[in-house]
Amino acid sequence: MRKLLFALLACSGLVYGQVPAASAPATKGPATVENQFLSDFAITRGFTLGRPVRIQPTPDGKAVLYLRSEGRSSSMRLYEFDVATGSAREILSPDRLLKGSEEKLSPEEKAQRERQRVSTRGITNYQLSEDGNLILVSLSGRLFVYTRANRSVRELSVGPGTILDPKFSPDGTQVSYVNDADIYTFELATFQKRRITTGGSADLSNGLAEFVAQEEMGRFAGYWWSPDSRFIAYQQSDARAVEVWQPADPAKPEPTEYTQRYPRPGKNNVKVRLGVTPATGGETTWLDWNSDRYPYLATVKWDKGGPLTLVVQTRLQRELAVLTADETGKTKLLFTESDPMWVNLDQEVPRWLSDGSGFLWTSERDGAPQLELRDPKGALLRVLVPPGTGYVPDKSNLSVDEKARLVYFRAGDDPTSTQLFRVSLDGGEPVALTSKPGQHTFARSKDQGVYVVSATDPQNMMRSSVYRADGTLVGKLPSDAVEPPFKPNVEFVKVGPGTGYHCSLVRPRNFDPRRRYPVIVQVYGGPGAQQVVASMGSYLRTQWLADQGYIVVSIDNRGTPRRGRAWERAIVGSFGTVPLDGQVAGLQALAKRFPELDTGRVGITGWSFGGYMSALAVLRRPDIFKAAVAGAPVADWLDYDTHYTERYLGLPAENARGYKESSLLTYAPELERPLLLVHGTSDDNVFFLHTLKLSDALFRAGKEHEVLPLSGLTHMVPDPEVRIRLEERIAAFFRKNL
């Protein structure tokens, strides 16, 4: 959903969080609804607008590029921080590029941003040429190239059509892009464009990643340049056998141009093949692999120092194969990874070393993620990061200093935090570079002379600092963000038998230890995402809710990541039991430890998988949960997509019991607690269909419930006015029912 992961944005602001924080000073008098905070929270997207994002040092380490909006605006601009002077300046803005014209996005561009969970406007992405001299920006269906040396901008005459996935060739002489499902190149010296593929259409596209690749695999590219800029490898997607779904807005019944091919469990997927063609155009050489056994093209890499390398998966994702390809299209198997449950993907690997001596790989075969160095034939040379380190695959921030033979990455044995580490390619113990509880990421220049560390902790929102290679602080990237008016009163604990459950508790800022408080469980509970994370931003909206007289708790149950293979895979075969049992067990353990929790008054709320969990909780455990707000819930897993659902539940024909046990429709006749369903009517991830089907089942069973449709909204809720009203409605619902 992209593992349903980014649905956390919808209900908790952003996935920036917090660790055991000191309580803010207690306020006197009864808790009140702070409408000014709610307004500020909504307008600033959880106080994240105005902070630097998409941070990228230039290859020579002399500057740092980043995107940033104003604190109360979602329109992004491009900035450059000068390392020598420590000053920053704006270099590109939407007004400069569009000359006052209104930004317009095609339905395809909107869909791509939805897959990437981008809700801002303006310059939302950019690409730097390998030499650092040029910057490529796509805006409103137009392409612009900025030359850093003379600060000039020129627009590329790419013509009409839907422009997607623009990028520089490795040598920086060309820009490639997909226009109406075919690949084109644009020669910067001559200003001439060339069509590379033909025959592209909505149903047979060239150079575009299909829906499940973007939503579930984390792969957004559909074509790749060779390191010498002579060839282009591209994906051709045949979607003609896949069902057509239309995420239309019922409030706008006029016909829509945008439809999508949506593959459901047990039904047809998009058929994908990979070809290589000269960058000047010509015949395509199609790669040959056993696509019947491995129908999913999961990852493609064409790194300097390595051959064209691809990772392919079986349909049930219990095995993947790492292959290399030669100029004839013949593929060679390097090795396979298998797991009787499923094999996780890591889009950061394989990562070839530029001297061709081998590549980095991630495996879980020893019980938890580990980083490996393998030789060019795929044989294991050594384990660089052992399982006990808490390596974070797919978000590892991998960076390699080949001259110093060092690998930089993210890890941490505390799953609520991520720290920065380095390790030698020649072996040895990983060295921690940070230790403070919180979330840490970094970006390093190609020459390794400059790096940027971004961090959030219990006392601060995300901030980004620029350092030289020797650790000298250059300065902080300027922020225009509105700062939150308080620090969350959050406590982190681990409770329960055995390995226990990581939990967070947010108490009112005027907390009275003599009182017992009703409890609201803020839940996600599904694969691929954590609710209990050490970052301030994750608990701001939660604090607002707690201040109205609740203790808000979160529990990461079995099935969530960063607790090892066995913990994560405990949910295989059914969503309807283990996750909910974990929430109940964690809640009961918290109640034993904290008498201020009134477990006779417990509500639950979440979005996406968290919405599913919330509805499941009041349907299956009304003895524990007295009211629920379910945002964008998956009502029936037969109506979700193949790659996500089959990974955990298998094929419907082979696991009918698991699908039935996991379906909310199965338990609809048992509803006896208040339930509010909230859903965007134009959601193209968890379709509005899910809430309609659940509401219909409840209605037919004679069960009262509430439905709040968010007209025209998708899986995200970026509209400030809608966000304010939604939070007020959720608070009122719990005030009435708890």
Q: What is the 3-state secondary structure (H, E, C) of 219-242?
A: CCECEEECCCCCEEEEEEEECCCC
Confidence of residue 167 (pLDDT cuts 50, 70, 90): very high
SS (H, E, C) 94-113: HHHHHCCCCCCCCHHHHHHH
pLDDT exceeds 90 at position 589:
yes
Tell me, what's the pLDDT at 114? 79
pLDDT tens readout for residues 669-680: 999 999 999 999
pLDDT at residue 257, rounded to an integer:
62
Predicted local distance difference test score (pLDDT) of residue 227: 97
Query: What is residue 678's predicted lDDT score, i.e. its pLDDT?
Result: 98
Phi, psi of 712 (to 5 degrees): 80, -5
Q: Are 582 and 550 in contact (CB under 8 A)?
A: no
Confidence grade of residue 18 (pLDDT, cut at 50, 70, 90): very low
Bigger pLDDT: 17 or 705?
Answer: 705
Residue 121 pLDDT class (50, 70, 90 cuts): confident
On the 0-12 / 13-18 / 19+ scale of CB atoms within 10 A, 392 is: buried
Residue 569 sits at φ, ψ, to 5 deg, of: -90, 10
User: For residue 555, what pLDDT band results from cuts at 50, 70 and 90?
Assistant: very high
Average pLDDT over residues 612-617: 98
- Among 229, 608, 662, 682, which one carries the catalytic annotation? 608
pLDDT at 31 over 70: no
Q: Mean pLDDT check: name the lowest of 159-168, 235-244, 245-254, 675-684.
A: 245-254
> What is the pLDDT confidence band of residue 104, given thresholds at 50, 70 and 90?
confident
Active-site annotation holder among 182, 346, 547, 683: 683
Tokens of 597: 């929790």
Q: What letter does residue 217 receive in the DSSP assignment?
A: I
Give the pLDDT of residue 120: 85
3-state DSSP percent of the chain in helix, strand and coil, to 5:
20, 35, 45
What pLDDT digit, counting tens, does each position of 189-203 carry?
A: 999 999 999 999 989
Helices (H), 343-478: none
pLDDT recorded at residue 698: 98
Q: pLDDT at residue 102 above 90?
A: no
* Residue 313: pLDDT band with limits 50, 70, 90: very high
Mean pLDDT of the chain: 93
Q: What is the 3-state secondary structure (H, E, C) of 470-526?
A: CCCEEEECCCCCCCCCCCCCEEEEEECCCCCEEEEEECCCCCCCCCCEEEEEECCCC
- Is 608 part of the annotated catalytic residue set? yes
715 is catalytic: yes
pLDDT score of 116 more than 90: no
Q: What is the pLDDT of residues 254-297, one digit of tens each?
A: 766 668 899 999 999 999 999 999 999 999 999 999 999 999 99
Of 90-104, 410-424, 580-594, the one with minimum mean pLDDT is: 90-104
Residue 250: is its pLDDT beyond 80?
Answer: no
Host H or E run for residue 612: helix 609-620
Give me the mean pLDDT over the 90-113 stretch.
Answer: 86
440 catalytic? Reply is no
The helix (H) or strand (E) run that includes residue 620 is helix 609-620
Mean pLDDT of 123-151: 96
- pLDDT for the residue numbered 117: 77
pLDDT band at 659 (very low <50, low <70, confident <90, very high): very high
Which SS3 state, helix, strand or coil, does residue 572 take? Answer: coil
Point out the least confidently predicted range of 2-16, 304-318, 596-610, 638-652. 2-16
Q: What is the SS3 assignment for 731? A: helix
Is the pLDDT at 20 greater than 90, yes or no?
Answer: no
- First-residue to last-residue Cα distance in the chain: 31
Q: What pTM did the predictor assign?
A: 0.93
Residue 164 CA to residue 138 CA, distance in Å, equals 8
Question: What CA–CA distance (Å, rounded) separates 329 from 134?
Answer: 33
Give the pairing of strands 675-680 and 706-710.
Answer: parallel
Q: Residues of 9-44 as b/e, b for ≥16 C-beta within 10 angstroms?
A: bbbbbbbbbbbebeeeeeeeeeeeebeebbebbbbb
Q: According to the model, what pLDDT value does residue 34 have?
A: 61
Which pLDDT score, from 0 to 100, does residue 160 have? 85
Distance in angstroms (rounded) separating the CA atoms of residues 588 and 377 = 52
Dist. CA 43–CA 598, nearest whole Å: 34
Q: What is the pLDDT of residues 453-503, one digit of tens each?
A: 999 987 899 999 999 999 999 999 999 999 999 999 999 999 998 899 999
Looking only at the bridges linking them, the beta strands covering 260-261 and 244-245 are antiparallel
The CA-based angle 481-40-94, given to 5 degrees, is 50
Identify which of 594, 586, 582 has the alpha carbon closest to the alpha carbon of residue 517. 594
**Does residue 108 surpass a pLDDT of 80?**
no
Strand 517-522 and strand 551-556: the pairing is parallel
pLDDT at 420 over 60: yes
Q: What is the mean pLDDT of residues 149-164?
A: 92
CA distance 5 to 15: 9
Considering only CA atoms, which of 74, 46, 80 is closest in space to residue 60? 80
